[in-house]
Amino acid sequence: MSDGSSIETLVAILRSEVARLSPGDRLPSSRDLIARHGVGPVTVSRAIALLAAEGAVVTRPGSGTYVAARRPRPAGGEPDTSWQEVALAGRHVPPAAPDEQPERLPPGTVALSGGYLHESLQPTRLLGGALARAARRPDAWHRAPAAGLSTLRTLFARQVGGDVGPEDVLVTGGGQGALSMLFRAVAAPGDPVLVESPTYPGALAAARSAGLRPVPVPMDDRGLRPDLLADAFAMTGARLLYCQPTFHNPTGTVLAPERRRQVVDVARAAGAFLVEDDFARLLGHGGLVPRPLVADDGDGTVVHLGSLTKPASPSLRIGAVIARGPVMRRLLGMRRVDDFFIARPLQEAAVELLSTPAWERHLRTLSGALQQRCAVLADALARELPDWTLHRVPEGGLHLWLRLPAHLSEADVTSTAPAHGVSVNPGRPHFPAEPPAAHLRLGFAAAAEPAELAEAAARLAAATRAN
């Protein structure tokens, strides 16, 4: 049993016990709970802390844990929030992108959904050591500069290459928040934003929340089509393009070498910004990773977005925006309004992480593991589901992109897959307009081990036979 499930089980037991007791009654001691339920002291401590946070119990150091006074419930049960329908009228915010993966899947479910590494692939010991060293720095809790720690900005600049310097870097709280800030900074509500089709659903959600209108630009097996991009700029008057040139989510496509310069030139000719989402740069599978577009951009057309979240941990919410000119000054102004600065201890931990040789070893190990998992899942799908069309076997990233046969819909698969013990992501949320066909995005990084991926393909085959 995992630590999380042990804590949840003990909390449920203690809630039942608290309900039977009266306010002021003492709960069994931690030693008694450990012996009675066969759990560790950490599990007991966290369970009691949860109950205390809920207001169900009160802890008295040196004395014990006691049932708290009952809080009166509002008359009639649930609070009446109907007044909010009037207060929020005319203030519509588009719904966020659907969660890529529930926080907790049913036991035994193989995760082909989600966009993060399984815990076994995360450098948890390395992260713990970095955070511990960062916390011991005498200035760890001082206010951080609005743009971020100079050392961390230098590390991000060096990662990108070219003539990018630390003065061009703004440290952010991960990639998603940076996207939201960028869209608000460079476009006004009602403006069009050009996006690859398909694209990352979180980008579509951030654009719509900023009041922008996503306009699809088709891709082929060499990435975004420069000819159709030029047409889209001409027809819409857009001044913003969002794209993922390297290990595109969801297709895994890498923008072809001859197109990389063309795409930047088309955006520059339109007087537009090109937001380069480079989230997967550190998720290559061992081959050559092309230079980011921003490394060869001399006039501030490209605004680059990178993050440490994907190759490290979902909770390492540290990323960077690289921008030049007035747009950087605007982003800094928004930072001072939105949140002042990114928490210094997390920035210091990121510096510690990137400065150790163990980080490079982690990336090499991760690269091999992702390559293996990608091959296992691709082979298993070809064997179990030969009528599904795999867009490509990617050379980086975390996903496979598949087109379903004509007789299957996304709803057919997504509704039956969970009953067969596998979770998947539908393709529809990746399209800014009507999709040309039914697709699924299947991840190979969230499962516990490679053998589970082959089992997941067999379960998907069983799910499709059930339709």
- Is the domain of 349 the same as that of 364? no
* Segment 235-241 mean pLDDT: 95
- Is the domain of 137 the same as that of 203? yes
pTM of the model: 0.84
Q: How confident is the model at residue 97 (pLDDT cuts 50, 70, 90)?
A: low
Q: How confident is the model at residue 4 (pLDDT cuts 50, 70, 90)?
A: low
Residue where a domain stops, chosen among 355, 389, 414: 355
Is 214 among the domain residues? yes
CA distance 325 to 155: 21
- Is the domain of 287 the same as that of 373? no
- Is the domain of 191 the same as that of 300? yes
- Is the domain of 207 the same as that of 299? yes
- Is the domain of 441 the same as that of 299? no
- Is the domain of 209 the same as that of 269? yes
Is 81 among the domain residues? no
Is 205 among the domain residues? yes
Is 180 among the domain residues? yes
Residue where a domain stops, chosen among 355, 372, 405: 355
Instruction: Give the structural domain span for 401.
Output: 110-115+360-465
CATH number assigned to the domain comprising residue 324: 3.40.640.10
Is 82 among the domain residues? no
Phi, psi angle pair for 297, to nearest 5°: -105, 120
CATH number assigned to the domain comprising residue 16: 1.10.10.10
Q: How confident is the model at residue 401 (pLDDT cuts 50, 70, 90)?
A: very high
pLDDT tops 90 at residue 104: no
Residue-level pLDDT at 1 = 43
Is 438 among the domain residues? yes
| CA-based max dimension of the chain | 74
Domain count, the chain: 3
- Is the domain of 141 the same as that of 287? yes
Q: How confident is the model at residue 307 (pLDDT cuts 50, 70, 90)?
A: very high
Q: How confident is the model at residue 8 (pLDDT cuts 50, 70, 90)?
A: confident
- Is the domain of 427 the same as that of 445? yes
Residue-level pLDDT at 316 = 92
- Is the domain of 224 the same as that of 292? yes
pLDDT tops 80 at residue 428: yes
Per-residue pLDDT reduced to its tens digit, 362-374: 999 999 999 999 9
CA distance 428 to 408: 14
Is 84 among the domain residues? no
Range 166-198 burial, b when 16+ CB lie within 10 A, else e? bebbbbbbbbbbbbbbbbbbbbeeebbbbbbbb
- Is the domain of 11 the same as that of 159? no
- Check: CB of residue 231 under 8 Å from CB of residue 253: no
* Segment 211-224 mean pLDDT: 95
